[in-house]
Amino acid sequence: MKLRYLLFLVSLPVWSKNIADQSQDEYNYIAPPTVVQTFDLADSDHDGVINARDLCPKTPKNANIDNDGCETYHRSKTQRQLRILFENDSSNINSIFHVQIKQMARFLANYPETSIELRGYASFSGETQYNQALSKQRANRVKARLIKEGVSADRIRIVGFGESNPEATGEDQVSDAKNRRVSATVVGYKGDVEKRWTIFSTLPPNRHTY
């Protein structure tokens, strides 16, 4: 027993040195390699297409996109038309057309990238120069009404066509009534953005799966 204890004490310094050497080798620090990133892999608009090849860097949220990262649109039945008729030699807007104006104001609010051109017309009754001024006055009345509904004035352009470009060419009262009008053209409207399909999406009406 004494002999074994003596041999243990003799070998202890060597064993301790081996452990110290192994610990020193185990914890030697090796610096990690430097990664060189050639392309920008960021996706600022979170559409799944990296900035390096995204042709549409401001894609609307949850939009259905193509391979270039651009959203797709579809035409909707949203109110985009305006047609207001006027009494003879008048620029007063009949109350029956207020709904149309409100719908147009709501449309412009929903699509802030758009603007509108109001085109005023007159019938053949009266002098040409007078009708030209009257047609512009009618368009300005509609503009004032849109501004009252919250549309910014800088989004509305006025054009007075007078007797030119008539809707009806007859000389009867019905034709004159059709020509005393203001119509509108919406500029910058692409359509509604198509949404990306998710597990929460629902199928449109009258569509079935088999």
pTM of the complete model beyond 0.75: no
Overall number of domains in the chain: 1
Cα 33 to chain centroid distance, Å, stands at 44
Any domain includes 84: yes
Any domain includes 40: no
How would you classify residue 48: left for phi > 0, otherwise alpha for psi between -120 and 50, otherwise beta?
left
Any domain includes 38: no
Residue 45 CA to residue 5 CA, distance in Å, equals 74
128-148 and 98-110 are packed helices; what angle lies between their axes, rounded to 10 degrees?
A: 60
Any domain includes 108: yes
Q: CATH number, domain at 145?
A: 3.30.1330.60
Neighbours of 113 (CB within 10 A): 10
Domain that holds residue 181: 78-191
Any domain includes 34: no
pLDDT mean across residues, the chain: 76
In the structure, what pLDDT confidence band is assigned to residue 155 with cuts at 50, 70 and 90?
Answer: very high
Encode pLDDT of 35-80 as tens digits: 666 666 777 666 667 776 666 776 666 666 677 667 665 554 444 6
The length of the chain is 210
